[in-house]
Amino acid sequence: MPELPEVEVTRRLIAPLLVGRRIAAITTTRPSYVFVTSPARLRSALPGRSIRALERLGKYLLLRLDDASTLVIHLGMTGQLFSSRARSPRLLSATARSSLAPEEQAAFEPDGHTHLILRMEGSGPDVYFRDVRKFGKLLWLAPGKGHPRLDRLGADALKIEGAGLHAATRKRRVPIKALLLDQAVMAGVGNIYADEALFIAGVRPGRRAARVTRREADALAQGIVRVLERSIETGGSSISDYVTPDGSDGGYQDERRVYGRTGEPCLECGAAIARRVVAQRSAHYCPVCQS
DNA sequence: TCTGTCTCCTGAGAGC
DNA sequence: TGCTCTCAGGAGACAG
């Protein structure tokens, strides 16, 4: 489930394959939930365009094109953006993996989940966007055009500070975890890193946002930046479908303190990690270390 | 305006 | 072995 670190790692690794190159042609699947902009519109807008820059805004990737238009990509839950030369079993379903001999399992050919193929001019690799659950988004913005999805985003989570976070919690009755997941408050935090940051700060995910003290907000802001930066350093979290653009796994899944560790001992106190639903998301926390 | 719920989607895994 | 059910979650739409 790509959050800010996974998107940032993707940006850093895929940029050299895209920036400065021209799109020769694109291939799309039929219209679906993935396409905010229709496949037909993408097919007319993208070929022939050079990519000037690849930027990140929260969990969104922005491909800046030479005609000042922008291709916006959101990876959703299971989105994968990778090189056509990438090799990873994570690029195959378990069914597909099981039907292949071990030495063949890393091979990948575009399948029905590969919604966009950017075929690039020159001898370099092409770039695939694949998304099994179709929660990802592909959106093309005409030159000079914005979009409400992007306009609503709050400050980048890597730049969040205690004062700003504390101000955002005032008079908010929602659980603090719901606030952290609100992309209008800060952009980039998802379920995994919200849980991890709350553990570092010693705050339970279900506590009302307005009851978080200034001191705790400072700790929470520091915790958010700390887990995001550490995850970027390790290549992100490969918990389900995420792979880096070259097909390798991230490393942060091995450093999780609470997320997905229900029933396992807390690394600080040994108590069993608990799980409950907060804001319709599973929240993992230590009932002793977090209050 | 704020908050909570529903919806979209599909593979994995549990249970029978 | 095969079928059915539940779960996972980002974010927009909608109701109260």
**Which of A151, A178, A199 is a domain's end point?**
A151
Q: Are residues A80 and A185 in the same domain?
A: no
Locate tokens 């992309």: which residue?
A: A183
A172 touches strand B (CB under 7 A): yes
Q: Are residues A37 and A49 in the same domain?
A: yes
Spot the catalytic one: A21, A149, A208, A281. A281
Instruction: List the one residue out of A24, A203, A48, A190 whose CA is nearest residue A117.
Output: A24
pLDDT tens-digit readout, A123-142: 889 999 999 889 999 999 99
Strands A51-57 and A60-65: antiparallel
- The pLDDT score that the predictor gives to residue A137 is 93
- The pLDDT score that the predictor gives to residue A245 is 74
Q: Are residues A216 and A110 in the same domain?
A: no
Residue A245 lies in a domain: yes
Q: Is A281 a catalytic residue?
A: yes
- Weakly modelled stretches of chain A, pLDDT under 70: 88-108, 238-242
Q: Could you tell me the residue range of the domain that residue A113 belongs to? A: 4-151
* CB contact at 8 A, A206 and A175: yes
A142 touches strand B (CB under 7 A): no
Residue A92 lies in a domain: yes
* CB contact at 8 A, A1 and A239: yes
Residue spans of beta strands (DSSP E) within chain A: 23-28, 51-57, 60-65, 70-74, 79-83, 114-120, 127-131, 137-141, 155-156, 186-187, 274-278, 281-285
Please enumerate in sequence order all residues whose Cβ is within 8 A of that of A40, keeping only pairs 6 or more positions apart, or say none.
Answer: none
- The pLDDT score that the predictor gives to residue A287 is 93
Q: Are residues A168 and A211 in the same domain?
A: yes
**Which of A128, A151, A174 is a domain's end point?**
A151
Residue spans of beta strands (DSSP E) within A40-184: 51-57, 60-65, 70-74, 79-83, 114-120, 127-131, 137-141, 155-156
* CATH classification of the domain holding A106: 3.20.190.10
Q: Is A59 a catalytic residue?
A: yes
A170 touches strand B (CB under 7 A): no
Closest nucleotide over all strands to A59 (CA to C1'): C10
* A284, β-bridge pairs: A275
Question: Which two structure tokens, joined as six digits, stand for A253?
Answer: 């899944």
pLDDT tens-digit readout, A90-101: 666 555 555 555
Q: Are residues A138 and A161 in the same domain?
A: no
**Which of A92, A121, A151 is a domain's end point?**
A151
Closest nucleotide over all strands to A36 (CA to C1'): C12
Protein CA at A88 to nucleotide C1' at C13, angstroms: 37
Locate tokens 């070929």: which residue?
A: A47
Q: Which amino acid is at A222?
A: Q
Q: Is A3 a catalytic residue?
A: yes
Spot the catalytic one: A5, A8, A11, A59. A59
Q: Are residues A159 and A138 in the same domain?
A: no
The length of chain A is 291
Q: Is A64 a catalytic residue?
A: no
* CATH classification of the domain holding A218: 1.10.8.50
* CB contact at 8 A, A198 and A176: yes
Question: Which two structure tokens, joined as six digits, stand for A148?
Answer: 């409400």
Residue A275: phi and psi, rounded to 5, are: -135, 135
* CB contact at 8 A, A224 and A193: yes
Residue A189 lies in a domain: yes
The DSSP output letter for A265 is B
Q: Are residues A130 and A169 in the same domain?
A: no
Note the strand C nucleotides within 7 A of protein beta carbons.
7-12
Residue A58 lies in a domain: yes
Spot the catalytic one: A2, A5, A39, A89. A2
Q: What is the pTM of this model?
A: 0.92
Residue A241 lies in a domain: yes
